[in-house]
């Protein structure tokens, strides 16, 4: 599968403001933040999009991603007031980087519906 800039961040070949890391997950601040807190939470495995998340093959990874999300939200102080998790998928979903990632957004009241 094709690598993206996120593989370089995982390998620490380019800098990023990392807020969480374990064996399977990396999280770092988005370079163009859309809210006071905007973190990208990604699997270390190269998975292009949520379309490739298939059944039980990925159930542990999904748990790891959500465990990381809750820890980060607590650590960054946005858990109590709430936050939004976004996964863009494919062209219509507005996905730009084809390495699966969750946007964790918080620190202000977010609008709904999205554009
Ligand atoms: P998406 O449109 O869902 O694919 O989101 C890709 C996100 O990656 C955007 O919010 C970008 O601002 C962010 N991004 C791209 N390159 C970097 C980078 N080098 N470091 C941090 N965030 C990045």
Q: Where are the domains of the chain?
A: 5-106
Question: Can you give the pLDDT at residue 56?
Answer: 87
30 lines ligand 1 (CB under 6 A): yes
Contacts 24+ apart (CB under 8 A), 25-31: 25/64, 25/65, 25/68, 27/68, 27/72, 27/104, 30/103
5 lines ligand 1 (CB under 6 A): yes
77 lines ligand 1 (CB under 6 A): no
Fold of 5-106: HIT family, subunit A (3.30.428)
Per-residue pLDDT of 38-72, as tens digits, reads: 999 999 999 999 999 998 899 999 999 999 999 99
- Give me ligand 1 centre to Cα 10, in Å: 14
Looking at the annotation, which residues are catalytic? 101
Predicted TM-score (pTM) of this structure? 0.98
Question: Can you give the pLDDT at residue 78?
Answer: 98
């Amino acid at each position: 599968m094709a690598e993206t800039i996120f593989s370089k961040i995982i390998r620490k070949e380019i800098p990023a403001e990392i807020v969480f890391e374990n064996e399977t997950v990396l999280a770092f601040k988005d370079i163009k933040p859309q809210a006071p807190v905007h973190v990208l939470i990604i699997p270390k495995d190269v998975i292009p999009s949520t379309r490739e998340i298939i059944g039980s093959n990925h159930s542990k990874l999904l748990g790891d991603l959500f465990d990381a999300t809750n820890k980060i939200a607590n650590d960054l102080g946005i858990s109590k007031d709430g936050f939004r998790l976004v996964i863009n998928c494919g062209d219509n979903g507005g996905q730009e980087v084809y390495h699966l990632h969750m946007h964790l957004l918080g620190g202000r009241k977010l609008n709904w519906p999205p554009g």
